[in-house]
């Protein structure tokens, strides 16, 4: 009886892990879309547009992630989107992650992205619960689903994205499929 119980528990754990990994694959589809990946870069220059081209005007991250003293992000990016197609988008506190905490995802595969997201040294010092709150309520995160004229939102709705994050978190935040 004990071995049968252990087998059932093992199968349940494997299913939960597989479901969690499946949820993360959907999360990754959002985190690597142009709305997110343009600012989550390893270098100091953000990208722009759906094609990920280098940002105009030699824009740089700066010491706080909000640009250099001569060219702050808020110089062009206001607190709301412009109504003109392809004009600078906007959200409160427009910024890149600061240089000490780049949260760089550009070029990472799904498993490496997962590991990076779980690592407080690379995710802004956040626990999974704090990441969930960040994804739910940060204004710049939420901007991605209302990116303004001429830009595509992420492939999942915000509600589905957060739900998939919660499912991944509840499955133990696996970073690969069950063996």
- Position 41 in a domain: yes
The pTM (predicted TM-score) of the whole model is 0.89
pLDDT tens, position by position, 23-82 = 999 999 999 999 999 999 999 999 998 999 999 999 999 999 999 999 999 999 999 999
Q: Which range of residues forms the domain containing residue 136? A: 21-170
- Position 47 in a domain: yes
pLDDT tens, position by position, 142-159 = 999 999 999 999 999 999
Half-sphere exposure of 103 (CA within 13 A, CB side): 22
- Position 9 in a domain: no
Half-sphere exposure of 92 (CA within 13 A, CB side): 4
pLDDT at residue number 13? 60
Residues 99, 63: contact at Cβ < 8 Å? yes
- Position 79 in a domain: yes
- Position 49 in a domain: yes
Helix, strand, or coil here: 99?
helix
Domain count, the chain: 1
The backbone torsions φ and ψ at residue 113, rounded to the nearest 5 degrees and listed phi first, read: -60, -45
What is the average per-residue pLDDT within 93-122? 94
- Position 175 in a domain: no
- Position 92 in a domain: yes
């Amino acid at each position: 009886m004990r071995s049968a119980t252990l087998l059932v528990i093992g199968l349940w754990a494997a299913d939960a892990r597989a479901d969690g990994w499946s949820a993360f694959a959907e999360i990754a589809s959002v985190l690597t879309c142009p709305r997110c990946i343009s600012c989550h870069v390893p270098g100091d220059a953000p990208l722009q547009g759906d094609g990920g081209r280098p940002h105009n005007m030699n824009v740089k991250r700066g010491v706080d992630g909000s640009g250099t003293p001569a060219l702050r992000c808020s110089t062009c990016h206001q607190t709301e989107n412009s109504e003109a197609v392809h004009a600078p988008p906007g959200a409160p506190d427009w910024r890149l992650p600061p240089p000490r905490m780049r949260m760089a995802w550009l070029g990472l595969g799904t498993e490496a992205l997962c590991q990076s997201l779980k690592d407080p040294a690379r995710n802004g010092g956040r626990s999974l619960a704090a990441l969930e709150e960040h994804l739910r309520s940060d204004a710049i995160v939420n901007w991605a689903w209302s990116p303004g004229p001429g830009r595509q939102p992420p492939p999942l709705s915000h509600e589905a994205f957060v739900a998939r994050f919660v499912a991944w978190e509840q499955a133990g935040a696996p970073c690969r499929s069950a063996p």
